[in-house]
Amino acid sequence: MMNGQDVRELLGKRIQFFRKQRQLSQAVLAEKAGISITFLSKIERGIKYPTSETISGITNGLGVELYDLFRHDEIPPDYHNMLDRLQNDLMQTIDAVFKAYRK
């Protein structure tokens, strides 16, 4: 079973994977996401967990969809349930933020 640290590390690795795949430096992605290089580095290393707003900035900066960060391919089977719950929580948080913003 995954714990919070496992989730942070997995998310960080996925962000780093897409960043490197797109040949972006941490500085470039951090600027696109509106965060500091230090914070992005901590996210990629699983030390810090980003807010929904930060995840949105990172996905926009990477040019990927939110679900790409939580896809099941290349992920061990025992992580799937945890990722599904995390994705649902993030989607609910993002939905709540958008609803609050539209008021």
Domain limits at 24? 4-102
Both structure tokens of 64: 């990927």
pLDDT per position as a tens digit, 7-43? 888 889 899 989 999 999 999 999 999 999 999 999 9
The conformational region for residue 2 under phi > 0 = left, psi -120 to 50 = alpha, else beta, is beta
Predicted TM-score of the model (pTM): 0.69
Number of domains in the chain: 1
**Whole-number average pLDDT of the chain:** 85
pLDDT of amino acid 27: 97
The CATH number covering residue 89 comes to: 1.10.260.40
Cα 18 to chain centroid distance, Å, stands at: 10
Mean pLDDT confidence for 85-92? 78
pLDDT of amino acid 97: 81
